[in-house]
Structure 1
């Protein structure tokens, strides 16, 4: 009897994989799950919304030009002073803002991971040079740099993505460096080195996969920073220029009508707030799931 029940007992106690445990811990984080659901719904809206909307983002209703109009059956969030549908522009602006934020965060994560990996693995003068370069970039004030770049080049989505990525990679680089400094001394790295693995193989085949958890968390949090930075730049007039809408320049254009048409400013402001909060909640949930304290 004992022999027949032993395999069943072993199967019942078979340990779960790392990622299954991560998913289980993430699902226990209620705010993270709510944030992920919100981001999923928001992503579907900004992807599908412009396709099903009866208006283009720059379509003008000439009967409504002059003053913002209130909600109606034809325009659920009203129109702006140029007779353009506010809901359509809000959805299209979300597509642009989220795309710029995601692309900027990807660039920042890749750049920060590369610099941090080289610095933490090779140490010595390589570490000194790269970390001093990181300190110099961190010390440059953001606004003067953006003013300079905006004066030299006409803001466009690719340029804005590059600016956002260049301005937020430093935190990821420091995090990856600390991970590589700790992991390069582990036994599995020493074993791979003894078997003849070169520097590139050690970094990207053995060490980097073991640092993917903190990098994933840093990348998630970078998305929120990138969205905030893009919105701030567009609000100040140094981001993507009208008539292409973004949440930031929608806030900028609505600021002149706050007294008479506050409904133009509230939706883009709430979208920025809720999206950044949701991204941060997801980042917190991933951090707790991938790096449990217990």
Structure 2
């Protein structure tokens, strides 16, 4: 049996693959993550261009059919509600609020959690103990009842709802970032920067934080799905964004009165919530696998 050896010619060695091309290649191998990303991009485009796509205004009424929801038809793809409003149009406009609350509250929670976790993990000692015990106290408070109480008192607008949801969802990110900083602060590149006179804020946010960005991105994507579910639950209970502005949650609230006579009113916003949250979770799984150095 003969064995063939292949020798590379001088100057033809394969160049090492860069970090971002390698990351993209790993991500594209995860088919569900790619599907989730495509779905989320399409939903974002639909939300942004809803006034151009929707055939009617979100509060426009067909006065000839008021009183009884109408089933899907050529004129109304998802039917109409009891006030003669087009369900397809209201689902499109509802995507704008639900996605906005989900995205920006997740970004707010990530920002707060990253700051608190970075301070706790880098300085350790008294600061770490103080910040982590505060985090533990907030974690002990049931999230949904607290958000319900605040929403019931404040009757929030969209910006205020983002602040409430994001301001009460940062704890998991804080603990994650703390663990990353505790590990990375002892690495050689941090010691070298400290020996060269680097200031603490430069070391934390210029040297350590970029090396912890992978888990933070994954945590952010998964937080979006949780924020959308929370906003939908609040709107379903009548404590989120108030009518006449449509969200997927308050569309389900309206539809709850017609589940037997007009189930399509609940079917379409419910499917949109399901599809969005599944896509976010698929995307988070793909990013987690792509950032995992063991892959």
Q: Deviations over 1:63-115 (max 9, x none)?
A: 11101011122211111001100000000001110011001000000000000
Counterpart CA distance in 1 for 2:118 and 2:16 is 32
Counterpart CA distance in 2 for 1:77 and 1:39 is 21
Map of 1:198 onto structure 2: 199
Give the deviation of 1:52 after TM superposition.
3.0
The root-mean-square deviation of aligned C-alpha atoms, in Å, is: 1.2
Give the deviation of 1:149 after TM superposition.
1.4
Counterpart CA distance in 1 for 2:122 and 2:80 is 56
Q: Deviations over 1:254-280 (max 9, x none)?
A: 011000000000011111011101100
Map of 1:157 onto structure 2: 158
Counterpart CA distance in 2 for 1:255 and 1:152 is 24
Map of 1:283 onto structure 2: 284
Asked whether the equivalents of residues 121 and 184 of structure 1 are also in contact (C-alpha less than 8 Å), the reply is yes
Give the deviation of 1:150 after TM superposition.
2.3
Map of 1:257 onto structure 2: 258
Counterpart CA distance in 2 for 1:292 and 1:185 is 19
Counterpart CA distance in 1 for 2:236 and 2:265 is 14
* Structure 1: stretches of 5+ with no match in the other structure: none
Superposed, 1:61-140 pairs within 5 Å as: 61-140=62-141
* Structure 2: stretches of 5+ with no match in the other structure: 1-7
Counterpart CA distance in 1 for 2:293 and 2:193 is 28
Map of 2:4 onto structure 1: none
Identify the match of residue 6 of structure 1 among 4, 10, 17. 10
Give the deviation of 1:242 after TM superposition.
1.3
Asked whether the equivalents of residues 148 and 234 of structure 2 are also in contact (C-alpha less than 8 Å), the reply is no
Q: Deviations over 1:2-52 (max 9, x none)?
A: xx9411x12xx1011111100000000011011111111111222223223
Q: After the TM superposition, which parts of structure 1 deviate over 3 Å for at least 4 consecutive aligned residues? A: none
The number of residue pairs the alignment matches comes to 288
Asked whether the equivalents of residues 80 and 86 of structure 2 are also in contact (C-alpha less than 8 Å), the reply is yes
Superposed, 1:145-294 pairs within 5 Å as: 145-294=146-295
